[in-house]
Structure 1
Amino acid sequence: MEIPLSGKRVLVTGGTRGIGAAITLAFARAGANVLTCSRTGGEAADRLARELKATPGEHHIVTADVSRSEDVGHLIDECRSRFGGLDVIVNNAGRITHVPIKDLDLAGWREILDTNLTSAYDVIHRAVPLLGPGASIINVGSGSALAGIHNRAHYTAAKAGLIGLTRSLNKELGPLGIRVNVLSPGVVQTEVELSEEVTSRYQQMTGLKRLGTPEELANVVLFLASDLASYVTGAVVPVDGGI
């Protein structure tokens, strides 16, 4: 089944590597026009730019750090000037560090909360005037939000916050015809290499006995963005292989 996304105007934050790049390319290949952002540019952004150039449609990569409100303002201005509006927002930008709570200072806490949670609020807050009936917002969370992870209290708190943000916005924006959902990934094999020991442990924890791929997550994002999911909102959708 093809997912009908031709002509949709899409913003993907943090969309130049890993899961974000897979989501960005999946939208472009499905006929959408996509604008994404990179905090630093570099080889991954250059590689994605080449792939997008070879894909029909209007696609753009903007330099923006979504933990900085002025950069978010610039990002939404780019969406407005290039597309005139938005049909889909994917809040994918994220950052993780591994710090015991006794060593986690306020600056470290704020860095992770700002990147993983506050940025999603800021993007949505600024983008609401660009959205209309039928629009879809997908916030990329984590299965760790409810389970917790050792030495990552700040990260799991931020991802749990995305669930609350999503469920409230579902009720606030629903009357406008705007849907809001959380994609909750499990462990995914990206360009960040995991040790054999860690990979094996996570494989054994899943029902499918393997890690996921970025493309498998992107498929679900496309569904949530499309009219096929027109009655799906306020949901936390696990894509975790049954972990």
Structure 2
Amino acid sequence: MDLGIRGKKALVTGGTRGVGRGVVLALAKAGVDVITCYQRESEYVASLERELKEIGGDHHVLRADLSQPQDIAALLERARELYGKLDLLVNNAGTISHVPYKELPVEEFERIFATNVTGAHLVIQHALPLLGEGSSVVSIGSRAVEAGIPLRAHYTATKAALVGLSRSLAKEFGPQGIRFNVVALGVIETENFHAMPADQQELMAQRYGAKTALGRLGTPDEVAGAILWLASDLSRYVTGNTIGVDGGIS
């Protein structure tokens, strides 16, 4: 199906690994020009650059630490220079840690919020001059907001904050034709999953797959499908929503 998004311009934060990488590659294959960013040099960065070159298009993989406001400002200024506008913004960059709540240092609480919430807020704020009628902003959330997960209270709180942020911005910028939505993920098979020993992979797939209606884990490509839809005019009346891409997990 032709989604009518060929030639559109997108920024996907944190797109060299995992879900973000799947989104970047799916958009590029659909004919969208994509900017993405990374925090540290790695083989993931180099291999993504190679894949994007093979696909073709006007793509850019840039360094930016989204916990640093000056890096965010520089990233969006570069997007302005390269594209002049953005049709799609995907707030995918995030960080996580596992800490018992009674032992959670304020420094760690603030570190997680700095990237997951403040970073997303600043990316959106700096992107506003590039967004216009028909633009779509998508933040990657988590089903953890509804379920709750021990040792991740601080992480879950950041994902809940993204829901409130998106709903409020949907109301504020709806008259300008800019849409804001959250895609809430279940358990997705990424590089971290495949780096586990085979027995741990099997145990995790069985444990979490059994909690889903579909009986399996998700893939980055399946998350990308939802992003492609939200980038297209097929979703032009969808805003202020949280869309679960979770296999029907409960």
Query: What is the CA-CA distance between 1:15 and the residue it aligns to?
Result: 0.4
Query: What is the CA-CA distance between 1:218 and the residue it aligns to?
Result: 0.3
In structure 2, how many angstroms separate the alpha carbons of the residues matched to 1:29 and 1:23?
10
In structure 1, how many angstroms separate the alpha carbons of the residues matched to 2:13 and 2:43?
17
Aligned to 1:186: 186
Matched, 1:238 2:244: yes
* Secondary structure at 1:54 match in 2: helix
Query: What is the CA-CA distance between 1:198 and the residue it aligns to?
Result: 2.4
Q: After superposition, what is the alpha-carbon deviation per residue over 1:69-101, rounded to whole angstroms, capped at 9, x for unaligned? A: 111011101100000111110000011100011
Aligned to 1:70: 70
In structure 2, how many angstroms separate the alpha carbons of the residues matched to 1:183 and 1:3?
19
* Secondary structure at 1:141 match in 2: strand
Aligned to 1:222: 228
Report 1:204-215 matches (<5 A).
204-215=210-221
Query: What is the CA-CA distance between 1:199 and the residue it aligns to?
Result: 2.2
Query: What is the CA-CA distance between 1:36 and the residue it aligns to?
Result: 0.2
Report 1:19-30 matches (<5 A).
19-30=19-30
Query: What is the CA-CA distance between 1:208 and the residue it aligns to?
Result: 0.5
Matched, 1:82 2:82: yes
Aligned to 1:126: 126
Query: What is the CA-CA distance between 1:3 and the residue it aligns to?
Result: 1.7
Query: What is the CA-CA distance between 1:225 and the residue it aligns to?
Result: 1.1
TM, length-normalised to structure 2? 0.95
Aligned to 1:45: 45
In structure 2, how many angstroms separate the alpha carbons of the residues matched to 1:239 and 1:229?
16
Q: After superposition, what is the alpha-carbon deviation per residue over 1:121-152, rounded to whole angstroms, capped at 9, x for unaligned? A: 10011110111100000000001012111000
In structure 1, how many angstroms separate the alpha carbons of the residues matched to 2:120 and 2:90?
9
Query: What is the CA-CA distance between 1:67 and the residue it aligns to?
Result: 1.2
Aligned to 2:106: 106
Alignment-mate amino acid for residue 201 of structure 1? R
Q: After superposition, what is the alpha-carbon deviation per residue over 1:17-64, rounded to whole angstroms, capped at 9, x for unaligned? A: 010000001111100110000010211111100000111210000000
Aligned to 2:145: 145
In structure 2, how many angstroms separate the alpha carbons of the residues matched to 1:56 and 1:170?
33
Aligned to 1:154: 154
Aligned to 2:203: 197
Query: What is the CA-CA distance between 1:116 and the residue it aligns to?
Result: 1.1
Query: What is the CA-CA distance between 1:2 and the residue it aligns to?
Result: 2.5
In structure 2, how many angstroms separate the alpha carbons of the residues matched to 1:58 and 1:111?
33
Unaligned runs of 5+ in 2: none
In structure 1, how many angstroms separate the alpha carbons of the residues matched to 2:64 and 2:143?
26
In structure 2, how many angstroms separate the alpha carbons of the residues matched to 1:187 and 1:32?
27
| Percent identical | 50
* Secondary structure at 1:192 match in 2: helix
In structure 1, how many angstroms separate the alpha carbons of the residues matched to 2:72 and 2:46?
21
In structure 1, how many angstroms separate the alpha carbons of the residues matched to 2:247 and 2:235?
21
Unaligned runs of 5+ in 1: none
In structure 2, how many angstroms separate the alpha carbons of the residues matched to 1:2 and 1:203?
32
In structure 2, how many angstroms separate the alpha carbons of the residues matched to 1:103 and 1:76?
36
In structure 1, how many angstroms separate the alpha carbons of the residues matched to 2:115 and 2:49?
23
Alignment-mate amino acid for residue 23 of structure 1? V
In structure 1, how many angstroms separate the alpha carbons of the residues matched to 2:216 and 2:166?
29
Of stretches 161-170 and 102-111 in structure 1, the one that deviates more from structure 2 is 102-111
In structure 1, how many angstroms separate the alpha carbons of the residues matched to 2:104 and 2:128?
34
Query: What is the CA-CA distance between 1:103 and the residue it aligns to?
Result: 1.6
RMSD in angstroms over aligned alpha carbons? Answer: 0.8
Report 1:87-98 matches (<5 A).
87-98=87-98
In structure 2, how many angstroms separate the alpha carbons of the residues matched to 1:225 and 1:174?
16
Of stretches 112-121 and 203-212 in structure 1, the one that deviates more from structure 2 is 112-121
Alignment-mate amino acid for residue 63 of structure 1? R
Query: What is the CA-CA distance between 1:197 and the residue it aligns to?
Result: 2.3
